[in-house]
A = this chain, B = another copy of it.
Amino acid sequence: MKRAPIVGVMGGGNADFSTLKQAEILGGLIAEKGWVLLNGGRCTGIMEATSKGAFEKGGLTIGILPENHSEGMSEFIKVPIVTGMGYARNTINILSSDVVVACPGGAGTLSEIALSIKCNKPLILFGFKQDSDFATLLNRQGLIYASTPEDVIQKIEELLRI
């Protein structure tokens, strides 16, 4: 791949402080690698935290927005993509990512995890318990888990080498 890899980080609009802090660190590490950060673009939760982390390290941040305008966008997004397609934009998030990192979230994040599997995208679950019931539900062997931002980065590097 000649262009910089695009790392999509998915996760909830609400998250506890520790999860947000980890997400911000992850965003910074993605930027330091020279990778592009892609997320849902809004000014809340995992989206805001990863955008802030990447932006402050000089990274390129792409936000795929659900509305037909850019209100509610994170100020740390450099390129807003305004879809006007509501939740259907989640499909664009996944299709546009070379690697998907899913952080804890609600039903929206779960739909993105499911779409990643459906689209055969490399997927890293960050901050989830290695819950065997979850793996059973998702009906796939070999889900990749990571527990720290550094661990996520290492696993992205392994996946991109493939």
Where the two chains meet, the residues of A that have a C-beta atom closer than 8 Å to any C-beta of B are 2-4, 6, 36, 60, 62, 64, 68, 75, 77-88, 90-92, 95-96, 106-108, 110-111, 114-115, 117-119, 131, 133-134, 136-140
**Chain multiplicity (copies):** 4
Contact of A81 among B96, B136, B139 (CB under 8 A): B96
Contact A91 B96 (CB under 8 A): no
For residue A73, which residue of chain B has the nearest CB?
B3
Which residues from chain B contact A133 at a C-beta distance below 8 Å? 131, 133-134, 136-137
**Closest-CB distance, A103 to chain B (whole angstroms):** 14
Indicate which residue in B64, B68, B114 contacts A108 across the interface (CB closer than 8 Å).
Answer: B114
